[in-house]
């Protein structure tokens, strides 16, 4: 194993801010729906809208960072080893089976993670953002009157936004579990705090082969 700097400063900042904002949006959103009671309805609405705007700002910075650094390539889906990865999570992980893929600095996500993250970034989060903005600005001031968008009511928007919220909550819960599936229970968590992670040596077998064939030098 070798200690590698895998997660850069902004990547870690973006990850933790996104996690906190999604959690806070979930709490305030479900309070707005009447599922829980914590801040009070009026406060929950204000907090939810403020967190939503903060999330949009974070998304803009994250998109800029991903494209300027080339990190967007990390999320390109691949079918290679996808089945093996799924079987590992369903069966292999409970049998202490070896991981079917190896993490590297240039490939931080396994095939299943790439597929899930691509779906979140290209589908779920955009749907949440668009439906949330429509919900926030359904009625807007125009000169001396208040107009409404011609979207046929808020019911469909609310249902779509709520479905997206449940998907994000499901991902959040699954993510908390998968954090514990590293080399140790806390290794993945430490990596996202410090940026450093223990990765397998890519050339161990080659080194062993070379060392076995090298002559032993003696004094």
Minimal CA–CA distance to 62: which of 107, 17, 24, 112? Answer: 17
Are 81 and 111 spatial neighbours (Cβ–Cβ below 8 Å)? yes
State the pLDDT at residue 135. Answer: 81
How far apart are alpha carbons 122 and 176 in whole angstroms? 22
Give CA separation, 86 vs 79, 108, 119, in Å.
11, 17, 16
How many angstroms from the chain centroid is the CA of residue 66?
13
Q: Are 4 and 105 in contact (CB under 8 A)?
A: yes
Measured CA to CA in angstroms, residue 108 lies from 71, 112, 194 at distances of 10, 12, 15
pTM over 0.85: no
> For residue 122, what is the DSSP state?
I
User: Which pLDDT value is given to residue 207?
Assistant: 45
The conformation of residue 146, written as its DSSP 8-state character, comes to: E
Domain boundaries in the chain? 2-201
Q: Which fold has domain 2-201?
A: Fumarate Reductase Cytochrome B subunit (1.20.950)
Q: What is the pLDDT of residue 54?
A: 96
Per-residue pLDDT of the chain (219 residues; tens, 9 = 90+): 788 999 999 999 999 999 999 999 999 999 988 888 989 999 999 999 999 999 999 999 999 999 999 999 999 988 888 889 888 888 888 888 888 888 888 889 999 999 999 999 999 999 999 988 888 877 655 555 555 566 566 778 888 899 999 999 999 998 998 888 878 888 889 999 999 998 877 654 444 443 444 443 333
pLDDT of 200: 75
């Amino acid at each position: 194993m070798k200690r590698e700097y895998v997660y850069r400063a902004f990547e870690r900042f973006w990850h933790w801010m996104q996690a906190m904002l999604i959690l806070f949006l979930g709490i305030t959103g479900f309070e707005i729906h009447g599922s829980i009671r914590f801040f009070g309805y009026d406060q929950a609405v204000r907090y939810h809208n403020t967190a939503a705007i903060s999330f949009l700002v974070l998304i803009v910075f994250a998109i800029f960072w991903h494209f300027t650094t080339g990190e967007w390539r990390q999320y390109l889906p691949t079918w290679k080893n996808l089945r093996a990865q799924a079987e590992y999570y369903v069966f292999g992980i409970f049998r202490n089976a070896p991981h079917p893929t190896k993490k590297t600095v240039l490939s931080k996500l396994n095939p299943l993670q790439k597929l899930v993250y691509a779906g979140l970034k290209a589908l779920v989060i955009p749907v949440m953002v668009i439906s949330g903005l429509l919900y926030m600005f359904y009625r807007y001031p125009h000169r001396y009157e208040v107009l409404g968008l011609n979207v046929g009511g808020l019911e469909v928007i609310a249902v779509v936004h709520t479905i997206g919220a449940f998907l994000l909550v499901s991902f959040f819960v699954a993510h908390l579990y998968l954090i514990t599936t590293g080399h140790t229970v806390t290794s993945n968590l430490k990596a996202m705090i410090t940026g450093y992670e223990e990765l397998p040596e890519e050339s161990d077998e080659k080194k062993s082969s070379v060392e076995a064939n090298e002559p032993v030098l003696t004094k």
